[in-house]
Amino acid sequence: MRYLATLTALFAASPALAASGPFFSLHNTNFIVLLGFLLFIAVLFYFKVPSLIGAQLDKRADGIKAELDEARALREEAQTLLASYERKQKEVQEQADRIVSHAKQEATEAGEQAQENLKASIARRLRGAEDQIASAEARAVREVRDEAIRVAIAAAKDVVAKKMTATDGNKLIDDAIAEVDAKMH
């Protein structure tokens, strides 16, 4: 109802109704304008402008659809790549965690091995020191014994030299030569 009232108001105020004389006359400008408009519309239809416009709009719609499909495909590819990179990142993180735990384990084992090696080295050094001490004791005992023997020989020499006469000495030398001769032959 409202639409009808608006349409009536437009026709009532239009200049078409204000023109004088018959409407279908070439002297009526409104008729000429109507003929020009109809001729324009006919030329548009003759040159198939609506179908060209429709084709352009369809082409534009197809281009937009192709762009949307391409964007959708790119989005899916990007999501696939993102999932792939996230999976790779998780794998790399797991590998890094394994490497760190392996390195910690190796460091622990290396520390334990170093402690064992240190204990073995200390034990070897202690044995070496004990051997050196024993060797030094044996050398000291031997030196003391050798010195005691030398002192005893010197003392015996002095005692024998004081108590022995030249004839006793010659007799001992002859006995020693005879004994050596008997052992040699």
pLDDT at residue 17 in the model: 54
Residue 174, in any domain of the structure:
yes
Q: pTM of the prediction?
A: 0.39
CB-count burial class (<10 Å; 0-12, 13-18, 19+) for 30: middle
pLDDT at residue 1 in the model: 55
**Percent of the chain at pLDDT exceeding 90:** 48
Residue 177, in any domain of the structure:
yes
pLDDT band at 81 (very low <50, low <70, confident <90, very high): very high
Residue 165, in any domain of the structure:
yes
Higher-confidence residue of 11 and 83: namely 83
pLDDT at residue 80 in the model: 95
Is residue 13's pLDDT more than 80?
no
Domain count, the chain: 1
Higher-confidence residue of 169 and 100: namely 100
Residue 150, in any domain of the structure:
no
For the residues 26-51, what does the mean pLDDT come to?
91
Residue 168, in any domain of the structure:
yes
Residue 173, in any domain of the structure:
yes
Higher-confidence residue of 2 and 168: namely 168
Domain that holds residue 173: 159-184
pLDDT at residue 12 in the model: 47
What integer best gives the mean pLDDT of the chain?
85
Residue 137, in any domain of the structure:
no
Residue 176, in any domain of the structure:
yes
pLDDT digits (tens, 9 = 90+) for 39-62: 999 999 999 989 999 999 999 999
Contacts of residue 19, defined as CB under 8 A and 6 or more positions apart, other chains included, come to 28, 29, 30
pLDDT digits (tens, 9 = 90+) for 124-163: 999 998 999 988 888 888 888 888 888 888 877 777 777 7
For the residues 16-37, what does the mean pLDDT come to?
78
pLDDT at residue 15 in the model: 53
